[in-house]
Structure 1
């Protein structure tokens, strides 16, 4: 875990500096008012001992208590609001960064760990500000003022007090230093915000291919704002309860002193100085205890900040391309001697010397045994990964030279797992085309034989699909993902086993839908069913990371033993 200092907090604190300056000012005023209380108490007791009227002094003391409590409540609310704002900003920043990381990062990192950094770790930053740094600053004022007053009242008693405090604080700091390297458990469940981030991360490829990063980041920001509003409501209550409790304790303590002072009003024993000293001791111990807790919270918060910073330091997916495309006369997609190995296993090449071309307006099927590199081929076209050798071209231009936004706007990609995002049918369809009209949504659902989803509930397009589409069947989830892609109408469609979860009736309906949209488009389909392959203009046969045959169905039956074996079984390997 990366070790960071308080300086790393500055980017998060800077937007809230006005609120923190206000809090600091109110803390100084509150500390000054608190330090006046023992002096006013001594005056009350001395006045009682002298047999003089005390109403004026008592009124001043009560007014001071009320003023300090009101200032404390206002300060705490402003401080909690700033803390909630800091957490909201940190969550939005971290989620936006996560959604723009290279896909390879998701291959090697646990989603739950990333969610913990967005949720629990960002929550810990609030404690660093609200109960850490500023409590330490205001505590310095309280401790300094109380210590000076105690020295003036009785240096010997102060020396005895200092020895005891030094021992206690020394033990406390020793244990507090162990907090930072320890892992702090999650502080609270984050509810809707965590669900929103999890939805985005588990469908990262779909969101990236749909160019929906900004909208998904905005959705996280909205969820973070909702958490912020809930935190403000809690902070408002805490701002009232905390100072009220302190005022109650202080008031009871002062009442006891007042009663005791009345009992010694005969003047034989003056307790004014002693009571003032005890009160100053009370004001000395509380800030020191708070400072120890603040030190612990700062250490915990900085450990969490280190985990966040580790993610923020990861480089984003680059978008350095500037080339224009397509080039006249070039194929829609072309692989030139492509070699590729995943970063997690660089010693094993998934693709070795793959070459083939897909002309515009044609349908190309990729077939072959499981693990031979078919799905990886589509990922390289989308530029989820960059080749380790050779080149992938779209429209005659190397994809590494094309701006990612433009590249993915040209491609329509349906993943093998066909993820469905939590929410409604409408939410899922609008992911790619947020401005689509309802008539367009209904038309594309009808094209993939999903009209019954709209008809079977009064909610229509606003019917919930459940977490990960759990309320839909496997075939319905796949067709919904295909409908989402067809809605955008890109010139090149990349379909990874689009009929894998469909029965014969729905497969026929989907083939009809694909045929309808394929007239003016280029299709590249990873297929495992013969019915998907036989009508293709070109079939590329993969085996063991390479291309072993290219041709039409009839040609390959006579020239490719591997393809002939697949066809004989009426089922192409997935």
Structure 2
């Protein structure tokens, strides 16, 4: 098995693709942040002039009006800025979810074999949500806080350099400790998000198998499995909580100590006549405007680290290569050769054990070919290779005379209809399921194809007709109905080549006969490749390919194989299609 790729290293630069589409709005936010900061920094100076005017018994009404105007203006600017920032953050979450979902749906099938669905769901849900905090409370809080800190520090130095030095002594130790703790949050957040993904996987596993779990009386055991995952997520969350618990008190203590120092030293400076009361009040206000953004920026830095941890998990998926088509420059071969041709095909899954060994056989146009053999012989794998869900390791696989590796996947799959063994049904309505591969089909066409697979009663049993709900995973349908609905969905697209993997596995004798008739009807002028364990469904095939241990051991018609293939004769005997001693 190939080793998984290490997670990509992400930093602030990694956020740029997410912010680029909103650079105009973010520029407006930046300007508004500067305006709000400037208006806020003017307030202590106006307050100083107000107090000095009051002390000198001069007119101070204009200073009151200016302060009121500054407060109202700052409130309006901050409201607009905050709305734009929140709207941008929601837009980034939306675009990241779209981008991540689009990429997930285009990953090679092998990636789904490696990963758990719940963890992928967690990345789309929980991890993308953390990007909101990066924008609203992280990145711009740090930027706007830096403007406030720089402006306040400059004003404080102008007012009283000695008092500013005293302030730095009080703040330095506390902030240094706070930054040290905040730097550890990213690793802890990454672990916490990973644990949440594992918990989501455990919950998804339990819910998807709820009936099996209930029937097996395994509720308590499965609850314990989920609880253990939840406990791991809880422990990881506690590690973040412990770090944040140190950060806030440390910052608060530094702020309180700074205020006490400034009051003590500043009071002495006023008493000695070095500064006025107005200067001290202005200095304290500037100190407030300095320490509050510092505390906010430190908290924002913590959130930024958590967001970057989530971004690392998102980028891990986005950096996985999607399905791609490698243009070899091979020209398209006109239809005229075999519909499908396997030529010395070999294939192994990631565990390295060969699944197919030198498989060779030809499927002519307009014929029906059945693939039979014991479980694990490689029958379903052959269909997956035709669909290019996996890439063959050796040999050639040609569809319409062209190597599948020389054909764009969309073009290749547009000529193929594929019904999986498990016959998945999507949550939604009958219409939603039928239109999946044929979005322009009419109601009449959908009704016809449902009739072809003996499912007319589905649209007759409720006034909703085609808009009747099928439930999560088709739970409101029987197993046979789900199988036939999946087949109807494929038949509706009317592809020239149909790939059917155990199409009758969940059908009773009556519906099996009806489906055989439907397949026979649509098989005219089309090519069928059918995987079957139930030989009664394929005895009239034009050719039957018998596989064992990944190899083709016999090819022929039913009567021929009964004479020439011991394995086929054994399979037929087990299904009472021939006497065991014949």
Structure 2 gaps of 5+ residues are 1-6, 209-274, 578-582
Correspondence 1:61 to 2:67: yes
Displacement after TM superposition at 1:55 (Å):
3.3
- Residue 275 (1) aligns with residue 281 (2): yes
Partners in 2 of 1:335 and 1:458 — Cα distance?
Answer: 48
CA distance in structure 2 between the partners assigned to 1:458 and 1:41 by the alignment: 74
User: 1:167 and 2:192 equivalent?
Assistant: no
Q: CA deviation digits over 1:470-517, x for unaligned, max 9?
A: 221111111111000000111110000000001111111111110110
Q: CA deviation at 1:186?
A: 5.6
Q: Does 1:556 align with 2:561?
A: yes
Checking the alignment, whether the CA contact within 8 Å between 1:366 and 1:541 is kept in structure 2 is yes
8 A contact 2:193–2:310 mirrored in 1: no
Q: What corresponds to 2:438 in structure 1?
A: 433
Following TM superposition, by how much is the alpha carbon of 1:326 offset from its aligned partner in structure 2, in angstroms?
5.5
Per the TM alignment, residue 303 of structure 1 is displaced from its structure 2 partner at its CA by 2.1
1:323–1:489 Cα change, 3 Å: farther
Residue 299 of structure 1 is matched in structure 2 by 305
The 2-side partners of 1:329 and 1:438 are apart by: 35
Deviation, structure 1 residue 154 = 3.2
Residue 182 of structure 1 aligns to a residue in which SS? Answer: helix
For residues 280 and 559 of structure 2, the distance between their equivalents in structure 1, rounded to whole angstroms, comes to 106
Cα displacement (A) at 1:455: 1.3
Cα deviation for residue 129 of structure 1 reads: 2.1
Q: Which residue is 1:103 aligned to?
A: 109
SS in 2 for 1:181: helix
Q: Secondary structure at the match of 1:392?
A: strand
Q: CA deviation at 1:445?
A: 0.8
Distance apart, 1:47 and its partner CA: 2.8
Shift of 1:324: 5.5
* Deviation of 1:530 (Å): 2.4
Alignment coverage as a number of residue pairs: 495
Residue 501 (1) aligns with residue 501 (2): no
Closer, same or farther: CA 382–331 of 1 in aligned 2, 3 Å? same
Q: Does structure 1 residue 534 correspond to structure 2 residue 539?
A: yes
- In structure 1, what is the equivalent of residue 427 of structure 2? 422
The runs of 5 or more residues in structure 1 that have no matched partner are 203-268
Aligned residue number for residue 215 of structure 1: none
SS in 2 for 1:354: strand
Quick one: distance in 1 between partners of 2:139 and 2:39?
Answer: 21
Q: Kindly indicate whether the alpha-carbon contact (under 8 Å) linking 1:324 and 1:402 is maintained by their aligned counterparts in 2.
A: no
Q: Distance in 2 between matches of 1:38 and 1:328?
A: 83
Given candidates 403, 408, 420, the residue that maps to 2:408 is: 403
Structure 1: distance between partners of 2:576 and 2:488: 25
3-state secondary structure, aligned to 2:354: coil
Higher relative contact order (CA 8 A, sep 6+): 1
Q: How far did 1:112 drift?
A: 2.1
C-alpha deviation, 1:270, in angstroms: 6.6
- 333-342 or 2-11: which moved more? 2-11
2:133: which partner in 1? 127
Report the TM-score, using the length of structure 2 for normalisation: 0.81
**Equivalent residue, structure 2, for 1:335:** 342
The aligned runs of 1:368-407 (5 Å cut-off) are: 368-407=373-412
Q: Please give the alpha-carbon distance, in whole angstroms, between the structure 1 residues aligned to 2:334 and 2:354.
A: 30
RMSD (CA atoms)? 2.3
With the length of structure 1 as denominator, give the TM-score of the two structures.
0.82
Task: Show the counterpart of 1:229.
Answer: none
